[in-house]
């Protein structure tokens, strides 16, 4: 407990410091001005009248400050009580860097204000201004890069293909883009689920807002909640003292893409369901609710309905997500798109590798059409990249892919039977293989494929229907 002598000594030191500071400001500053609560000049130091071309300083005492310094903001300071810490004030042809502060009495009432000329030449601020401008440019550049990272790279044109299956899913996706309901995209790995999600966002009214993607399978379960909902400042030992925004906040006004939603734990499924229903989230370690406006697009390679039936996925969350459903066909079910997909991917891969563009021969395409493509378009991109790196020719040949995918020429088009096949079965299998290869070699053009096979277009369609190979094209 401080003694009375200590308190008196502390007050004497404080008053001495205040007097010393005022004296120091007066001597060192190029201008010091004091006004009362009516913004009338009470006092100014010796240097200031010289800068203001005032021949008799005593003559301006008691005058409103604007009559002496037309561009002064001292009246604003004493009226609002808000300081102006750094400003440039023009006086005639001169400019001054000034600071203005209010003065209060013991009760906190404003009784006046004082202004200090920090520099009599704004150019003296150049190093500070330059550093500030650099920091501002760096911040703007960082924000720009972050915004670009959260923009979509793909549109519907990026989902290459002209087969009925491809056109159907693109048509459904365009309808989904016009709505704001959740979308569930189901398809095997590598079929382009995120590409479609980005295309939907790009064509939606939310296109200018962020697109934030979360791969649930790639994040440890213990971190998923904080990734989704954010962390309050100091929520736990080691947490950021400033807190951290979650993906919902980052996607505010835009789209949140949840990839591999089927891998989400039951406990997090319940919290996600509440966020979707109430449109609000609660950061980890916080009791504050944050309103969110986010459109959800989820994707999975699992059979989610089966997961629900077996109790591994919440039925209520499934119904919340499964408002608009897109079933992305695997590559083996739209092989007539293989030539244009391969050409597009080959060009993309060649540009990335700094290689000249390369085409694929009809024999190469026919060979690739025999593969089952369990990895779909992603696997095709990998095979094409390997082929480009292993070949120096202007076109990729069948032989280039035989080294990467050996044995396709001997792969049966259908599972082997347990009994000897009849002549009709052998003939049908041969026709099936010939038709699939001809359509692939003709880049999906059935009229050209029919001419190459020596049959009419109508006959070709009849055989496609009779042999049940529409899903293989």
Query: What residue ranges in 105-215 does DSSP mark as E strands?
Result: 110-119, 183-186, 211-215
428, pLDDT greater than 60: yes
Answer yes or no: are the C-beta atoms of 214 and 272 closer than 8 Å. no
| DSSP-H helix ranges across 212-261 | 221-229, 247-250
| DSSP-H helix ranges across 310-374 | 315-321, 338-353, 362-368
Closest CA to 302 of 243, 349, 259, 246: 259
Res. 461 pLDDT band, cuts 50 70 90: confident
Exposed/middle/buried for 178, CB within 10 Å: 0-12, 13-18, 19+? exposed
Q: What is the pLDDT of residue 396?
A: 92
To the nearest 10°, the Cα dihedral for 305, 307, 311, 315? Answer: -40
Query: What residue ranges in 7-109 does DSSP mark as E strands?
Result: 31-36, 41-44, 84-91, 94-104
Averaged pLDDT for residues 461-472: 66
Averaged pLDDT for residues 281-306: 90
121, pLDDT greater than 90: no
Residues of the chain with pLDDT > 90, as a percent, come to 37
Question: What are the pLDDT digits (tens) for 334-383?
Answer: 999 999 999 999 999 999 988 888 889 999 999 999 999 999 999 999 99
Cβ of 234: how many Cβ atoms within 10 Å? Answer: 13
- 119 against 190, higher pLDDT: 190
| DSSP-H helix ranges across 233-330 | 247-250, 266-278, 304-309, 315-321
Range of lowest pLDDT (17-21, 170-174, 465-469): 17-21
411, pLDDT greater than 70: no
Q: What is the pLDDT of residue 234?
A: 62
Do the strands 41-44 and 183-186 form a parallel or antiparallel pair, or are they unpaired? unpaired
Give the DSSP H or E segment for 448: helix 446-453
Question: What are the pLDDT digits (tens) for 35-90?
Answer: 899 999 888 887 788 778 888 888 888 899 999 888 888 999 999 999 988 787 77
The residues, ordered by sequence, that sit 6+ positions from 432 with a Cβ below 8 Å of its Cβ are 413, 414, 467, 469, 472
Q: What is the pLDDT of residue 286?
A: 80
Mean pLDDT of the chain: 82
Res. 419 pLDDT band, cuts 50 70 90: very low
Specify which residues 331 forms β-bridges with.
none
24, pLDDT greater than 50: yes
Residue with tokens 């095979």: 383
Q: How far apart are CA 41 and CA 260, in angstroms?
A: 71
Answer yes or no: are the C-beta atoms of 155 and 203 closer than 8 Å. yes
Question: What are the pLDDT digits (tens) for 241-271?
Answer: 677 888 999 999 999 999 999 999 888 899 8
Q: How far apart are CA 404 and CA 383, in angstroms?
A: 7
Opening angle at CA 204, ends 198 and 205, nearest 5? 135
pTM: 0.60
Answer yes or no: are the C-beta atoms of 216 and 258 closer than 8 Å. yes
Q: How far apart are CA 404 and CA 330, in angstroms?
A: 21
To the nearest 10°, the Cα dihedral for 60, 65, 66, 70? Answer: 80
The residues, ordered by sequence, that sit 6+ positions from 407 with a Cβ below 8 Å of its Cβ are none
Compute the Cα dihedral for 126, 128, 134, 137 and give only its sign: negative
11, pLDDT greater than 70: no
Q: What is the pLDDT of residue 235?
A: 62
Q: How far apart are CA 454 and CA 450, in angstroms?
A: 6
Q: What is the pLDDT of residue 415?
A: 39
Q: How far apart are CA 147 and CA 407, in angstroms?
A: 47
Q: What is the pLDDT of residue 13?
A: 62
Residue with tokens 């401080």: 2
């Amino acid at each position: 407990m401080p003694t009375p002598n200590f308190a008196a000594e502390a007050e004497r030191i404080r008053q001495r410091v205040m007097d010393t500071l005022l004296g120091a400001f007066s001597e060192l500053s190029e201008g010091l001005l004091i006004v009362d609560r009516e913004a009338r000049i009470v006092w100014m130091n010796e240097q200031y009248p010289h800068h203001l071309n005032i021949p008799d300083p005593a003559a301006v005492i008691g005058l409103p400050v604007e009559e002496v310094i037309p561009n002064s903001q001292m009246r604003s300071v004493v009226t609002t009580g808000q300081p102006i810490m750094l400003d440039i004030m023009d006086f005639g042809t001169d400019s001054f860097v000034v600071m203005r502060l209010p003065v209060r009495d013991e009760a906190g009432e404003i009784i006046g204000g004082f202004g200090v000329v920090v520099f009599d030449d704004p150019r003296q601020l150049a190093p500070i201004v330059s550093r500030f401008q650099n920091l501002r440019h760096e911040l703007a550049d960082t924000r720009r890069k972050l915004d670009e990272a959260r923009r979509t790279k793909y549109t519907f044109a990026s989902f290459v293909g002209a087969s009925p299956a491809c056109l159907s899913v693109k048509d459904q996706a365009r309808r989904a883009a016009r709505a704001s309901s959740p979308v569930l995209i189901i398809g095997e790995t590598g079929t382009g689920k995120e590409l479609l999600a980005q295309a939907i966002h790009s064509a939606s009214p939310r296109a200018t807002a962020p697109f934030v993607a979360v791969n649930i399978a790639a994040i440890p379960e213990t971190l998923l909640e904080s990734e989704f909902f954010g962390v309050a400042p100091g929520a736990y030992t080691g947490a950021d003292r400033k807190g951290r925004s979650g993906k919902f906040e980052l996607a505010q006004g835009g789209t949140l893409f949840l990839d591999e939603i089927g891998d989400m734990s039951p406990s997090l499924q319940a919290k996600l369901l509440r966020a979707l229903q109430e449109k609000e989230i609660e950061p980890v370690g916080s009791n504050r609710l944050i309103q969110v406006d986010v459109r959800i697009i989820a994707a999975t390679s699992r059979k989610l309905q089966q997961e629900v039936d077996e109790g591994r996925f919440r039925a209520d969350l499934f119904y919340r997500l499964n408002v608009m459903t897109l079933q992305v066909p695997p590559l083996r079910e739209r092989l007539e798109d293989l030539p244009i997909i391969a050409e597009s991917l080959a060009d993309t891969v060649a540009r990335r590798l700094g290689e000249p563009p390369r085409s694929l021969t009809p024999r190469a395409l026919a060979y690739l059409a025999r593969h089952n493509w369990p990895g779909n378009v992603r696997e095709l991109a990998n095979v094409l990249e390997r082929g480009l790196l292993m070949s120096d020719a202007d076109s990729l040949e069948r032989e280039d892919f035989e080294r990467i995918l050996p044995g396709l020429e001997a792969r049966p088009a259908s599972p082997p039977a347990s009994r000897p096949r009849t002549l009709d079965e052998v003939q049908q299998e041969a026709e099936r293989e010939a038709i699939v290869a001809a359509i692939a070699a003709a880049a999906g053009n059935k009229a050209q494929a029919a001419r190459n096979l020596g049959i009419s277009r109508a006959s070709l369609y009849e055989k496609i229907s009779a042999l049940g190979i529409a899903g293989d094209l």
